[in-house]
Chain A
């Protein structure tokens, strides 16, 4: 016992001393080890005269882990953020917008008024497993999603490709499934034949959900494809330790010469927001997302740190159950629209990083109706409308409040309090109600609420994704939690969906928004600006509105 105690004493003193004296920063110490890596053929200086870092490993820290790397079977952004690096789609979005350009297809034709699309595929592209990319691979991937009985659909393992169903009107055999057949013309030409035109068809082709996996990988991994991704993208999958990190390495055989510039990308999970920021400040990571808007002003003046502002691509709104009294009266809904002070909401809760919304669609989208006069903050007008509707004495209602933070709603509880105060100014009593997230989604979908708070983020840059999901009668029950149904709006949205002529589509969407504005089934609150922070050694990083961007061009400079 004596010897043990003495040993413990010596060890503890020793630990204390070494702990205190060891000031060497781990990151710098370890980065010297990267000399073991092959030396890359980087030029030593970039265009701005910065010296390139010896270690081209980028650590991207985020709050949650990916769910699956079988991109089409999941809808969470953390999954697609990684698969975007590994996989490629036939067409690709611009690096900071949803404008489409060539991807795995170099060119394409549309014929028969939008009933036939032919894609001319890039030659000489290989998957990470060395097999060639060709038209057969494209056909196999689409058939795999569309056909629940396909050998690679893996339905029995619980895989479902719901986004495919949503974007293409269902699955093989469904009445509304829009893809009639897929014809391989030759190795590098593939034709899609549609039953009826689909306005968002090309935009869909650029969605990260519809990227192309190596057919050989399905053969090899079967249902374990979700953790063995094999694509054609700039980075190859190396390893995944759950709830910890995903490691990717440079695809040396990538078809774009000289790219990617990074040798390695590590997606690191750091769940706590404050801890993530500490890790950035101590130089352990290079980029972090989930930045608190309140931290932005502080970080902007901080040496060694840069803040990235993304493009607005979402809407946070307050929805009414339009079938329930008193919200079945449009005048009441308009009155509540006039009661909300969006500017104050944005200043207090978004640190100014949002713009007030007047439509359900974010600005910049095809057919965004900019002629609409927003319901400005005007309590007087609200009182008048309430009086006209016979509610001069006000009323009481439940304001359902989201329990979780979302990009379009950072602090839902505080937002609810601000709005509660706004409503009390016009004599209305809003009782804040909150519950667990999954329950919240379920019960709002079933219409148990009076007034609820929610939002929506875009994935393909097409207005149909917002309007049809949130306000079309067919989306009841589902995304349309306002239970709003207007036959004119439904007709306009249907027509726009089956139309490929952009100007016509734009007109139809604009008209639909005017009607929706008058009917006021919701209060569009904000379009928020996503913010990320990074070390200033990160170069050429451009956040994409879809919240996942391919890191092909990014590099690190000292």
Chain B
């Protein structure tokens, strides 16, 4: 187990180097001149030339990449062209915002998806089964931005139950220490702020979590169906165990592995897919951070932002792989 973990961690290095080269190249293929974009359409040619000089944009491609890698090896993600600040310093609040939203969306997707899947499998062929699978089908095919706007319209504008944007009430901001607002509100000893932060999570969390929720529901259902038909379940039922024990203790434990795979993959996807949700709900997350950077051609931020997202993606997959062998010791590598 330990050697397997170590091997997997070592394999990360070439993967990350490959990713850095890809992000670096993609970013440099974007047409247009960053200096012009930073200075605006009314800038003088001289000012543009000066800025290019200052930013090192005149250096050849490989030299720029070499410099980038050297800094990266020292843990330096570069300096944002837009803000003149080290990306290391800037990144965390955005990253934390996205992680918090992703975790919430995933918890939502797991609670609703797993339970709907299990119930559908248990009551296979019932009205509930058909309904939930129908909803799951819609959930998979629903555009996030449309769902988000509908949520805002119904729950924020018409009903006034939930806030339409942001992570907190701007009139009463949360003192940030970790930048996970639910945690920060607790640290600050403000249950009212915790509740506010929680309410801000609901609409974007549902918008973001709907697709994985639907996928997990379908995966749980089919996985459970297979397990429920197996001999040992028949034995457990014959022994007279209660329904809940049969489903959750004996059935679901064995059905969980494919669900876990899907959940892991979906969590990775959410990190990248969060950008639409973050835009609609003004969620200041990593997706928005990179998006704004693209608009201003903030090369270092685009590169580092994508690299960080990709690294997280790889790490989540690694965690899922490691979890397999923990949950099911038969899985050996």
Contact = CB atoms under 8 A, between A and B. Distances in A.
A477 B44 CA distance: 9
Nearest to B200: A26
Contact of A1 (B93, B249, B292): B249
A12 B107 CA distance: 10
Contact of A441 (B36, B38, B167, B280): B36
Interface residues of B, number: 69
Contacts of A243: 94, 284, 288-289, 292
Nearest to B170: A266
A268 B166 contact: yes
B45 interface: yes
A245 B166 CA distance: 10
A278 B153 contact: yes
A303 interface: no
A515 interface: no
A439 B171 contact: no
Interface in B30-55: 31-33, 36-47, 50-51, 54-55
Contacts of B253: 1
Given A12-B111, A268-B166, A442-B33, A282 B244 contact: no
A438 B171 contact: no
Interface stretch (B13-21, B58-66, B157-165, B230-238): B157-165
B31 A438 contact: yes
B42 A266 contact: no
A270 B311 CA distance: 28
B37 A438 contact: yes
Given A2-B245, A12-B115, A158-B51, A30 B169 contact: yes
A272 to B, nearest CB: 5
Contacts of A8: 111, 115
Contacts of A19: 161, 202
Given A165-B44, A226-B84, A268-B282, A244 B166 contact: yes
A441 B157 contact: no
Nearest to B202: A19
Most interface-central of A241, A266, A436 (chain B CB within 10 A): A241
A64 B292 CA distance: 9
A97 interface: no
Contacts of A269: 282, 284
Given A269-B282, A275-B281, A245 B170 contact: yes
Interface in B302-326: none
B8 to A, nearest CB: 26
Given A23-B160, A478-B44, A241 B93 contact: yes
A279 B164 contact: yes
Most interface-central of A223, A243, A268, A274 (chain B CB within 10 A): A243
Interface string B220-259: 0000000000000000000000001100110011000000
B232 to A, nearest CB: 16
B82 A67 contact: yes
A109 interface: no
B157 A278 contact: yes
B328 to A, nearest CB: 13
A5 interface: yes
A446 to B, nearest CB: 11
A223 B32 contact: no
A275 B83 CA distance: 26
B84 A26 contact: no
A162 interface: yes
Interface string A56-72: 01010000110110000
Interface string B263-293: 0000000000000000111101000110010
Interface string A1-22: 1100110110110000001101
Interface residues of A, number: 76
A18 B296 CA distance: 42
B196 interface: yes
Given A2-B245, A57-B171, A75-B42, A275 B112 contact: no
Nearest to B244: A2
A162 B42 contact: yes
A47 interface: no
Nearest to B245: A2
Contact of B84 (A158, A278, A282, A439): A158
A379 to B, nearest CB: 33
Interface in B153-203: 153, 156-157, 159-161, 163-167, 169-173, 192, 196, 199, 202
A279 B156 contact: yes
A74 interface: yes
Contacts of B169: 26-27, 30
Contacts of A281: 157
A9 B115 contact: yes
A558 to B, nearest CB: 16
Given A274-B149, A438-B36, A282 B172 contact: no
A439 B31 CA distance: 6
Contacts of A293: none
B23 interface: no
B154 to A, nearest CB: 10
A75 B248 contact: no
B55 A158 contact: yes
A366 interface: no
A340 to B, nearest CB: 24
B280 to A, nearest CB: 5
Contacts of B44: 162, 165-166, 478
A31 B166 contact: no
A64 B297 CA distance: 15
A514 B122 CA distance: 83
Contacts of B149: 272, 274-275, 278
Nearest to B293: A243
B76 interface: no
B164 A223 contact: no
A462 to B, nearest CB: 14
Interface in A229-256: 241-245, 247
Interface string A157-182: 11010110110000000000000000
Contacts of B244: 2, 5-6
B71 interface: no
A25 interface: yes
Contact of A165 (B46, B161, B164, B288): B46
A284 interface: yes
18 contacts: A5-B248, A26-B163, A30-B172, A67-B38, A155-B54, A165-B44, A224-B84, A226-B84, A227-B83, A244-B282, A264-B171, A268-B166, A268-B282, A278-B164, A436-B32, A437-B32, A438-B31, A439-B31
Top 3 A-B residue pairs of the complex, sorted by shortest distance between their CB atoms: A438-B32, A75-B40, A244-B284
Given A244-B284, A247-B170, A271-B282, 4 more contacts: A244-B282, A275-B280, A284-B164, A442-B32
